[in-house]
A and B are shown apart, each in its own frame.
Chain A
């Protein structure tokens, strides 16, 4: 990858993560600044402490905002904002061999 491509991919990831954080905070009515959620912070358990009902909200929110329909997905995709961003947009996944 060229330097410009790396920068473009980083910007795309940053934007996607920002949009996801805002979606989480808005749809789940969490009274925090979206920026307080870090990209790799666990969304469940000791991280943001989301639960299984919150996942149901995220299913419909992701489809409404990103046009990506998830069904019976491996819950690991909700592991972090970063992981979710890669599921929604597979182009954000690290290139093979990088």
Chain B
């Protein structure tokens, strides 16, 4: 097991997609996983049940990561229940794709609110616990598109994912003297609900160009998150781990 007995990990957006795979992997490696959800309560509870049946330990925890009071309440409950936080994974994220000339301000703002503000609010509260502990690991989920510009219709999403990379690097340097590490995982195309809603033609077009010839499975990304969250990456901080199947050819 990668995580010591009693370790506590919080995964935002943990009920679905990459977050779900991360929650499963962290639980498999011995962490008690707090599965944060905003709306997917049923999915979160099913995941907790699945983890428990597999011999792991998990709890569902509600919070809207865009809402400061909701995030504070979540962390208040976390402190009260567990008194510690060893790992934070910020996986909550959305897309609101639209070509720029047609994109509404709300589509832009909503994407920034969930992806960037959500990351900020959860990392801030986590750091208040981890800094006091003098230990902890934060892994933020960005996207390879945050580095290479993605594809048309994603100026808001790409901006948010680029911001997560910059934020996490700055956080890593601020957190280092306190024994806390922060790193980014930047996946390419991953087979989740988020990519399933892409127009079929676009999805196939891009999939055919990926050098490894396929999309990633969520568990392939989860393994990288678990690595960065664990002591196996004890000397890694401020880094961006890109997993995009070799990129587009």
Interface residues of A (CB under 8 A from B): 56-57, 59-61, 63-64, 69
Interface residues of B (CB under 8 A from A): 72, 127-129, 131-132
Q: Dominant SS at the A interface?
A: helix
Question: What chain A residues lie within 8 Å of B127 (beta carbons)?
Answer: 60
Q: Nearest 10 A-B pairs (CB), nearest first? A: A60-B132, A64-B132, A60-B131, A60-B128, A63-B128, A61-B132, A69-B72, A59-B128, A69-B128, A57-B131
Question: What chain B residues lie within 8 Å of A56 (beta carbons)?
Answer: 131
* Bound CA span A61–B128, Å: 9
* Bound CA span A50–B72, Å: 28
* Bound CA span A61–B178, Å: 13
16 contacts between A and B (CB under 8 A): A56-B131, A57-B131, A59-B128, A60-B127, A60-B128, A60-B129, A60-B131, A60-B132, A61-B132, A63-B128, A63-B132, A64-B128, A64-B129, A64-B132, A69-B72, A69-B128
* Bound CA span A60–B129, Å: 7
Question: What chain B residues lie within 8 Å of A69 (beta carbons)?
Answer: 72, 128
* Bound CA span A56–B127, Å: 11
* Bound CA span A64–B72, Å: 14
* Bound CA span A20–B28, Å: 41
* Bound CA span A56–B180, Å: 15
Write the chain B residue with the least CB distance to A61.
B132
Q: In whole Å, how far is B64's beta carbon from the nearest beta carbon of chain A?
A: 18
Q: In whole Å, how far is B75's beta carbon from the nearest beta carbon of chain A?
A: 9
Q: In whole Å, how far is B31's beta carbon from the nearest beta carbon of chain A?
A: 22
Give 9 new A-B contacts, CB below 8 A, not counting A57-B131, A63-B132, A64-B129. Answer: A56-B131, A59-B128, A60-B128, A60-B129, A63-B128, A64-B128, A64-B132, A69-B72, A69-B128
Write the chain B residue with the least CB distance to A57.
B131
Q: In whole Å, how far is B159's beta carbon from the nearest beta carbon of chain A?
A: 25
Write the chain A residue with the least CB distance to B128.
A60
Question: What chain B residues lie within 8 Å of A57 (beta carbons)?
Answer: 131
* Bound CA span A87–B131, Å: 22
Write the chain B residue with the least CB distance to A53.
B177
Question: What chain A residues lie within 8 Å of B131 (beta carbons)?
Answer: 56-57, 60
* Bound CA span A76–B235, Å: 38
* Bound CA span A63–B128, Å: 8
* Bound CA span A54–B127, Å: 15
Q: In whole Å, how far is A70's beta carbon from the nearest beta carbon of chain B?
A: 10
Q: In whole Å, how far is A68's beta carbon from the nearest beta carbon of chain B?
A: 11
Q: In whole Å, how far is A76's beta carbon from the nearest beta carbon of chain B?
A: 21
* Bound CA span A15–B53, Å: 48
* Bound CA span A88–B155, Å: 44
* Bound CA span A69–B45, Å: 30
Write the chain B residue with the least CB distance to A71.
B124
* Bound CA span A12–B132, Å: 26
Q: Which of B72, B128, B131 has the most CB of A within 10 A?
A: B128
* Bound CA span A61–B134, Å: 12
Question: What chain B residues lie within 8 Å of A60 (beta carbons)?
Answer: 127-129, 131-132
Question: What chain B residues lie within 8 Å of A59 (beta carbons)?
Answer: 128
* Bound CA span A64–B132, Å: 7
